[in-house]
Chain A
């Protein structure tokens, strides 16, 4: 089945630094990937849609200059949290599905837990 890999699975950084999280589709190509954020004991909230070869589409209330998304190839999307602060500490998770497949093959990565000190 389709596999989505996220790296790193967890990261701790100092306030003010930038952190990059990678989302890779291992055995399929995806023109679109999605980034979600999940605060402790809360639901997943869609942050943005990552589009291969073009700009990401951000959900209302998500700062695009804060959360930089790059979808450089059909198998890789990256989320960079710039100038991270403690309030950015969260669980970030991506999803993707193969090109021209149905929504029922959408696959999530295992998530990346960010802690900003």
Chain B
């Protein structure tokens, strides 16, 4: 069965520092996608970054990069140069069976302090 695991319920990071949010997954499907979303207190889900299972290179989007280690089934999110506005819940998610259906991890609450 497909499963996403986020083991860090909360993380703290100082402004301008980098932080890594962990995500591991389990699936028997050879074709899948991995996503990271940010959810501020307003509730909207903001797409950050996507990695396809067949992508050879790690995805990057501005200050966000995804450390994709397929053999370890991990897809950690790295946020560089943290900003106060980065404080939010972060969810790792996976799509499978060539659909847009997502399963989500339990989330990590990131707090950026000055």
Contacts and interface: CB of A to CB of B under 8 A. Distances in A.
Chain A complexes with chain B: yes
Interface of A: 32, 34, 38, 42-46, 49, 91, 93, 95-97, 103-104, 106-111, 113
B95 A43 contact: no
A46 B103 contact: yes
B62 to A, nearest CB: 15
Which range contains the number of B residues in contact with the other chain? 20 to 34
Contacts of A106: 35, 47, 95, 100, 102
A95 B47 CA distance: 11
B43 A111 contact: yes
B50 A44 contact: no
11 contacts: A34-B102, A43-B106, A49-B99, A95-B45, A96-B100, A103-B35, A103-B100, A108-B44, A110-B43, A110-B44, A113-B43
Contact residues of A: prevailing secondary structure: strand
Contacts of A103: 33, 35, 50, 95, 99-100
Given A43-B104, A46-B101, A113-B43, 16 more contacts: A43-B107, A44-B104, A46-B102, A49-B99, A93-B43, A95-B45, A95-B102, A103-B35, A103-B50, A104-B50, A106-B100, A107-B47, A108-B47, A110-B44, A111-B43, A111-B44
